[in-house]
Structure 1
Amino acid sequence: MSPRMSAGERREMAIEAAVAAFARGGYEGTSTGVIAERIGVSQPYMFRLFPSKRALFLAAVDRCFDEVGAAMREGAGGLYGPAAIEAMAAAYRRLLGERPEFLQLQLTIYATAIADEELRAIGHERWRQLWRLVAELSGASPAEVLRFISVGMFVNVLTAFDIPYTPGTDKLAPSVHEWAMRGGEPGSP
């Protein structure tokens, strides 16, 4: 018999399950019952862990932003300047490769925020924190931080559409240009 889990452990499992569920189904298309079933609890117990579906969704949103920030910190790992920027970009690409649900959830967050004032406010603060984190870790100028974040958003699009690209400051644009000029199929180099 396995040991009983604490409410904190179940809460953690619920957030992880919510990330995956909301990433796939969006906010409106995901039920707390599906998430509860995934972690092996009843729906009433789920509501003891999180008072509402919205609270669970916002916990998943926080987890997504937290994981992106953690990837940036880990990537920079004491580097500074352009080396930190390249390392953070590589760490972000790894995150998307290892946990594609984080990209799916980001896209869900952006789409949901269009009609959700509270989520937009959360997004304002979390993007402010991300901007500051990149600037502090790298020492990059505002223009360099903008480029880094813009390229990251572009990588989100490339990843979502399975467009092949070669990462790196001097390789990304030529690789995407080559793909676009060839009229490549999804996922083809």
Structure 2
Amino acid sequence: MAKNETTMVNRKSDIISAAIAVFAEIGYYRATTAQVAERAQISQPYIFKFFATKEALLLTALEVSWTRVVDSFRKVVESAVPEQLESGLIEAYEEILATYQNEVLLQMQAQTIREASIQEAMRNGYGEVRQMVLEAFRAAGIPNAEERTMLFLARGLLCNISVALAMPELKEF
């Protein structure tokens, strides 16, 4: 990759990271691309070199956050022994919560946004995670795999709320 291309990839990544932070901190609707640009230390017009709209930037930020969850879970699924699968997935998600809290908060906010494209991105993200966990539970021979998957996802959402409200007692189980 040429130096200029590398710089552009890095700048795009910086913009996405800045957007995740700004959207998580003040909300998608209140956030402006000017605030994202300021956080990324670039000019506002430079954002539009990569993203046609603020919504396109949000969709990319959501894609990054869901990819992180999916990739993290995939590593566990590919390496865990059946007896440690669920605990491995829990540990992986706790690591995401600790390290990428803004991405989790972004996903939580996106759940309430009614735009069709954002709802679709959220359905796709949850659907991919659900399917991966369900298939892994079935392959591991976990009894009642469907119910255990639902409980796993429900606990994950409760963990999200715990982080958002600074109530660690919600995730103690």
What range is the shorter-chain TM-score in?
0.7 to 0.9
Moved more, 12-21 or 131-140: 131-140
Structure number with higher helix proportion: 2
Kindly indicate whether the alpha-carbon contact (under 8 Å) linking 1:76 and 1:85 is maintained by their aligned counterparts in 2.
no
CA–CA distance in 1 between the matches of 2:27 and 2:166?
20
Change (3 A) 1:117 1:36: same
Q: Could you say which residue in structure 2 is the equivalent of 1:182?
A: none
Q: Which residue of 2 aligns with 1:90?
A: 91
Q: CA RMSD in A?
A: 2.1
- The alpha carbon displacement at 1:73 in A equals 2.2
Cα deviation for residue 159 of structure 1 reads 2.3
The structure with more radius of gyration: 1
Unpaired segments ≥5 residues, structure 2: none
In the TM superposition, what is the alpha-carbon distance from 1:158 to its structure 2 partner?
2.1
Which residue is equivalent to 1:41? 42
Over the matched positions of the two proteins, sequence identity in percent amounts to: 23
What residue number does 1:137 align with? Answer: 136
Kept in 1: contact 2:159–2:170 (CA 8 A): no
State the TM-score, normalizing by the size of structure 1. 0.78
**Aligned pair in 2 of structure 1 residues 17, 127: CA closer, same or farther (>3 Å)?**
same
The amino acid across from 1:137 in the alignment is A
Q: Could you tell me whether the CA contact under 8 Å between 1:73 and 1:88 is conserved in 2?
A: no
Structure 2 residue aligned with 1:184: none
Give the whole-Å Cα distance in 2 for the aligned partners of 1:27 and 1:165: 28
Match of 2:119 in 1: 120
Cα shift at 1:120: 1.4
Structure 1: give runs of 5+ residues left out of the alignment: 173-189
Task: Give the deviation of 1:55 after TM superposition.
Answer: 0.8
Contact 1:22 1:30 in 2 (8 A): yes
1:57 aligns with 2:53: no
Shift of 1:15: 0.8
Counterpart of 2:165 (choices 161, 166, 187) is 161
- 1:19-73 Cα offsets, whole Å, 9 max, x none, are 1111112111111111112222211111111111111111111111111112212
Task: Quote the Cα distance in structure 2 between the aligned partners of 1:10 and 1:164.
Answer: 35
Taking the aligned partners of 1:159 and 1:42, their CA distance within structure 2 comes to 32
When structure 1 is superposed on structure 2, of 132-141 and 36-45 the one drifting more is 132-141
The CA deviation at 1:135 is 2.2
Residue aligned with 1:111, SS: coil
Residues 1:23 and 2:24 aligned together = yes
8 Å contact kept, 1:7–1:49: no
Where 1:51 maps in the other structure, the secondary structure is coil
